[in-house]
A = this chain, B = another copy of it.
């Protein structure tokens, strides 16, 4: 069974290639009668236009690349879902890449998306140094960064930011107001901009309460449950009078709570814990997790909307979009 092409249809319909092309692309310069006839014939023949050929001719792929550290992390799967939903409604396709926060993976993902000639990319929590990815990024016709700012603006690149500094401030403030003074921070991966900015907010809060900033209370960690367990244990070993801990994300917070229970520490009586993200499960774990809610799905749809606007030259704004977090008080830090 030979695949049916546009010329097969043309032959069958007794018209030229062109006319068929016009019919299937809803072009104006064609009589309704012949269009109907051709459409009928082509569907009878099971004709399916090849995107490949079309993309090569038009130099457009209607495909968006999305690069995330880990799709199994609910934070990113929500973003990808949001982005995917909007892509669907606009008839774009999504090419997904996981990087595990490995900068070499990030780089090779970028290059293969470039070769695939995607119309645009969405990059989540990129860890690459700016000098390392700028030249590559510049070759895309449009890009949106989530959780990552550029030192200087670029033509067709925009950022979806989260106000991490303020979020960090709000979180630590909640603990400070409750009387905590020795507050640890499992601040996430070293190269995370979110982590760095939340740390600034954390410092802002401490300063406001005239609490001395102690570097030993701040630990890097992997953004996973295992990472949380590990870092929390290290924290508790060296700092025995910590009464509150901020965690890079909810997974880390779950890990920290696990470390607490393994060390016989009660949450929240001995240690108060606050996460970031508010993943679906935050309210179902015990104690229910107090956390900074981030509107992940909305961020995903916004990113995709912004990207498509960029691609289609409809950029309404030249500034970055910034989302705010919202403190959700539950049991782990009442």
Contact B88 A98 (CB under 8 A): yes
From the candidates B49, B98, B115, B258, name the one contacting A48 in the complex (CB within 8 A). Answer: B115
From the candidates B63, B71, B116, B285, name the one contacting A71 in the complex (CB within 8 A). Answer: B71
Contact B77 A284 (CB under 8 A): no
Complex-state Cα separation, A63 to B80, whole angstroms = 19
Closest to A281 in B: B281
Given known A-B contacts A53-B56, A72-B78, A117-B52, A95 and B98 have beta carbons under 8 A apart: no
Write out the residue numbers on chain B whose beta carbons fall within 8 Å of the beta carbon of A286: 284-286
From the candidates B84, B281, B284, name the one contacting A96 in the complex (CB within 8 A). Answer: B84
Write out the residue numbers on chain B whose beta carbons fall within 8 Å of the beta carbon of A74: 72, 74, 77
Write out the residue numbers on chain B whose beta carbons fall within 8 Å of the beta carbon of A55: 52
Complex-state Cα separation, A97 to B56, whole angstroms = 23
Closest to A52 in B: B56
From the candidates B52, B81, B94, B105, name the one contacting A72 in the complex (CB within 8 A). Answer: B81
CB distance from A141 to the nearest CB of B (A): 11
Complex-state Cα separation, A284 to B116, whole angstroms = 41
Complex-state Cα separation, A225 to B282, whole angstroms = 13
A51 beta carbon closer than 8 Å to chain B: yes
From the candidates B78, B88, B117, name the one contacting A50 in the complex (CB within 8 A). Answer: B117
Contact with B along A24-54 (1 / 0, CB 8 A): 0000000000000000000000001111110
Complex-state Cα separation, A53 to B56, whole angstroms = 6
Closest to A82 in B: B72
A326 beta carbon closer than 8 Å to chain B: no
Given known A-B contacts A88-B98, A286-B285, A71 and B81 have beta carbons under 8 A apart: yes
Write out the residue numbers on chain B whose beta carbons fall within 8 Å of the beta carbon of A258: 284
Given known A-B contacts A52-B61, A280-B225, A77 and B71 have beta carbons under 8 A apart: yes
CB distance from A175 to the nearest CB of B (A): 22
Contact B94 A96 (CB under 8 A): yes
Contact B81 A98 (CB under 8 A): yes
Contact B116 A98 (CB under 8 A): no
CB distance from A94 to the nearest CB of B (A): 5
A221 beta carbon closer than 8 Å to chain B: no
Write out the residue numbers on chain B whose beta carbons fall within 8 Å of the beta carbon of A78: 72
A239 beta carbon closer than 8 Å to chain B: no
Which 3 A-B residue pairings sit nearest by Cβ, starting from the closest? A286-B286, A281-B281, A72-B81
A88-B105, A254-B281, A281-B284 known; 15 new pairs, CB 8 Å cut-off, are A51-B112, A51-B117, A52-B52, A53-B56, A63-B95, A71-B71, A72-B81, A72-B280, A88-B97, A93-B112, A93-B116, A96-B96, A258-B284, A281-B281, A284-B285
Q: Give the interface of A toward B (CB within 8 A).
A: 48-53, 55-56, 61, 63, 70-72, 74, 77-78, 80-81, 84-85, 88, 93-98, 105, 111-112, 114-117, 225, 254, 257-258, 280-281, 284-286, 297
A-B contact pairs, 18 of them (CB 8 A): A51-B115, A51-B116, A52-B61, A52-B116, A52-B117, A70-B81, A71-B84, A72-B77, A72-B81, A72-B280, A72-B297, A84-B98, A88-B98, A93-B97, A225-B280, A257-B284, A281-B285, A286-B286
